[in-house]
């Protein structure tokens, strides 16, 4: 028996199971269920979740968030940056590889709240105000979403010309030495790609609280990771290290409904390269609530574009990509996975070895379960590109970012002014004005002028620093220690 013959029954089982779920909801756009946890397994916290009588998920705990995440709020000329401890979000994120589920599962007072992706076009969300079951379980809505249909242009001439122009420029990359082929991807077993995601003006309106936006993007990124589960040499996963809520910035001229793909991609590059996205990251991704289109010679060329990216740009100054997503629908997961593969160096599948018709991730053809997998050509192209990256590209630099490095400075030996002065962006000659917030929350705002606008970064006060008259901060508490 060949290896392929051994795999085939499993492949058929997955396809059948997905079809079985869909058939349960055929003809109905939504249904109502009372999910409950049947079993909590092992120290890893894995769960068996019964959604209804026809669907039970075997959930594994996911790792998709950096322990400390940079959250940026862009509002007019003000950039506010804060460090978010993600433990309370990370512990509730799960996945089921069989169904390609990516879910947020919260257990509260014996009850369970489930939100996220059940499979490609089924979603679930709790209804707190809804009628409870006889056992007090919270009712949830399961609903279908339409996947983003993309009319991919093969090839993308405007984008290729744009890339050729940029390739002629001398780019130092987002990390020093990232363009020097000192090492090879074949020597790296794992590559956790550090990702900073921006939620644009339209997209971010769907989330009242910052934690809600972080959790949503974590579930979305977790769904992307499921598409890369089978990658090897290196094994690729995406780690969400930063989130930006864009309240006021326009990346390109827009009528509030549509946006030009190439113009907004250039605008995203400019936004990133002027220093508006702090911290360390390999790729910047923009989740947009607008409809993306391509235009050529003044005429709309394609209005069915769901996303766009610079091909082969990870770990460089061109490492930007964008894609459509509808808040709370998670329908941008496939587009996000596709565009990030472009960023990692993969073109579309359109060779005799990996034809478009096979329907893997880098095609828009419905290939069934193959839609959730990278073809061997995609993996090969990614390895080839990563072989040109330096060792620094593969390190998790977000663990050493400037917020974490400095948040534990001994407050008895440093003033607020000096603390902020030491965190001045490298090479900047701008004057820093430090403002210590005299409240019980033990935060310190470091404000400075950059590019003619005011920018403030929120830090945790170092232990021992004065927070109010006669009081100091210790472990986040302002008191008479």
Q: How confident is the model at residue 428 (pLDDT cuts 50, 70, 90)?
A: low
Q: How many other β-carbons are positioned within 10 Å of the β-carbon of residue 223?
A: 26
Which one of the listed residues 182, 339, 379, 399 is annotated catalytic? 339
Residue-level pLDDT at 16: 30
Quote the pLDDT of residue 59.
95
Task: Give the CA radius of gyration of the chain.
Answer: 23
pLDDT of residue 327 exceeding 70, the answer is yes
Could you tell me the pLDDT band of residue 405, with boundaries at 50, 70 and 90?
A: very low
pLDDT value of position 301: 66
| 469 contact partners, CB below 8 Å, separation of at least 6 | none
What b/e string do you get for 128-161 counting C-beta neighbours within 10 Å, with b at 16 or more? eeeeeeeeeebbbebbbbebbebebbeebebbee
DSSP 400: G
249 is in an annotated binding site: no
Distance CA 348, CA 154 (A): 8
For the segment 144-198, what is each residue's pLDDT rounded down to a tens digit?
987 666 555 444 555 555 445 444 443 334 443 334 443 444 577 899 999 999 9
Q: What is the pLDDT of residue 15?
A: 27
pLDDT value at residue 414: 64
Cα separation, 15 vs 362, in Å, equals 19
Q: Is 418 annotated to bind ligand?
A: no
Strand ranges inside 402-468, DSSP E: 432-436, 443-450, 453-460, 466-468
Label residues 54-67 b or e (16+ Cβ within 10 Å = b): ebebbbebbebbbe
Distance CA 129, CA 119 (A): 25
Q: Are 159 and 61 in contact (CB under 8 A)?
A: no
Phi, psi (rounded to 5 degrees) for 291: -90, 120
The per-residue DSSP string of 349-395 comes to S-SSSS-GGG--TTS-S--GGGGGS--HHHHHHHHHHHTTS-HHHHS
Which domains, and CATH codes, for the chain?
3-63+97-144 (no CATH), 157-396 (3.40.390.10), 407-479 (3.40.1620)
Q: What's the confidence (pLDDT) of residue 389?
A: 92
88 labelled binding-site residue: no
- String of b and e for 247-263 (b: at least 16 CB within 10 Å)? eebebeebeeeebbbbe
pLDDT for 397 equals: 72
pLDDT at 366 over 70: yes
Closest to 339 in 3D by CA, of 188, 227, 244 = 227
Task: Find the mean pLDDT for residues 436-446.
Answer: 66
Q: Reply yes or no on whether the pLDDT at 220 is more than 70.
A: yes
156 is catalytic: no
- Predicted structure pTM score: 0.75
Confidence label for 384 from pLDDT (cuts 50, 70 and 90): very high
Peptide bond into 465 cis (omega under 30): no
pLDDT tens, residue by residue, 9-29: 332 333 233 333 444 444 447
- Quick check: 272 and 225 in contact, CB under 8 A? no
State the chain's maximal CA–CA distance in angstroms: 78
Strand 65-75: give its sheet, edge to edge. 307-309, 320-324, 283-288, 190-199, 235-246, 65-75, 78-85, 453-460, 443-450, 432-436
Question: Is residue 226 within 8 Å of residue 52, measured between CB atoms?
Answer: no
Which of 426 and 142 is assigned the larger pLDDT? Answer: 142
* Structure-derived torsion over alpha carbons of residues 16, 18, 22, 24, reported in degrees to the nearest 10: 70
DSSP state string for 224-239? HHHHTTT--SSEEEEE
Kindly indicate the confidence band of residue 250, based on its pLDDT and cuts at 50, 70 and 90: confident
Q: Where would I find the beta strands (DSSP E) of 161-255?
A: 190-199, 235-246
Residues belonging to the chain? 481
Question: Is residue 361 within 8 Å of 225, Cβ to Cβ?
Answer: no
Whether residue 465 has pLDDT greater than 70: yes
Position 113 pLDDT exceeds 90: yes
72 DSSP β-pair partners:
81, 244
What does the pLDDT read at residue 149? 60
Q: Average pLDDT in the 127-154 region?
A: 80
Query: What pLDDT is stored for residue 43 in this prediction?
Result: 64
């Amino acid at each position: 028996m060949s290896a392929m013959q051994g795999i085939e029954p499993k492949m058929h089982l997955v396809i059948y199971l997905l079809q079985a779920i869909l058939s349960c909801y055929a003809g109905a756009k939504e249904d109502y269920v009372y999910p409950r946890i049947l079993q909590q397994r092992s120290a890893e916290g894995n769960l068996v979740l019964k959604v209804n009588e026809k669907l039970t998920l075997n959930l594994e705990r996911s790792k998709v968030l950096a322990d400390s995440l940079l959250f940026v709020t862009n509002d007019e000329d003000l950039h506010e940056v804060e460090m978010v401890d993600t433990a309370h979000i990370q512990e509730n994120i799960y996945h089921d590889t069989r169904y390609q589920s990516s879910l947020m599962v919260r257990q509260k007072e014996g009850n369970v709240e489930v939100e996220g992706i059940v499979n490609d076009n089924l979603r679930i969300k709790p209804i707190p105000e809804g009628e409870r079951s006889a056992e007090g379980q919270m009712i949830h809505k399961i609903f279908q979403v339409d996947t983003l249909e993309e009319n991919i242009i093969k090839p993308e001439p405007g984008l290729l010309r744009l890339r050729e122009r940029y390739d002629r420029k001398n780019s130092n990359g987002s990390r020093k030495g990232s363009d020097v082929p000192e090492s090879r991807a074949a020597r790296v077993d794992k590559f956790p790609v550090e990702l900073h995601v921006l939620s644009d003006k339209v997209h971010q309106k769907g989330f009242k609280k910052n934690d809600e936006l972080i959790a949503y993007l974590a579930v979305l990124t977790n769904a992307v990771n499921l598409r890369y589960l089978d990658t090897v040499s290196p094994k690729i996963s995406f780690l969400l290290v930063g989130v930006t809520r864009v309240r006021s910035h326009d990346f390109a001229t827009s009528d509030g409904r549509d946006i030009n793909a190439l113009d907004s991609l250039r605008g995203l590059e400019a936004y990133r390269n002027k220093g508006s996205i702090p911290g360390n990251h390999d790729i910047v991704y923009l989740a947009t609530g607008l409809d993306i289109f391509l235009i050529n010679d003044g005429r709309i060329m394609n209005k069915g574009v769901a996303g766009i990216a610079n091909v082969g740009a990870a770990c460089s100054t061109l490492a930007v990509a964008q894609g459509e997503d509808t808040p709370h629908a998670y329908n941008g997961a496939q587009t996000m996975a596709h565009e990030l593969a472009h960023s990692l160096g993969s073109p579309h599948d359109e060779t005799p070895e990996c034809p478009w018709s096979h329907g893997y991730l880098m095609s828009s053809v419905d290939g069934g379960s193959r839609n959730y997998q990278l073809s061997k050509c995609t993996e090969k192209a990614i390895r080839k590109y990563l072989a040109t990256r330096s060792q620094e590209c593969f390190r998790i630099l977000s663990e050493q970012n400037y917020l974490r490095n400095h948040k534990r400075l001994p407050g008895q030996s440093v003033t607020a002014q000096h603390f902020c002065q030491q965190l001045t962006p490298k090479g900047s000659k701008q004057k820093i004005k430090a403002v210590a917030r005299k409240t019980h929350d033990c935060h310190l705002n470091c404000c400075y002028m950059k590019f003619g606008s005011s920018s403030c970064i929120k830090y945790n006060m170092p232990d021992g620093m004065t927070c109010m008259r006669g009081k100091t901060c210790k472990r986040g508490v302002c008191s008479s220690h």
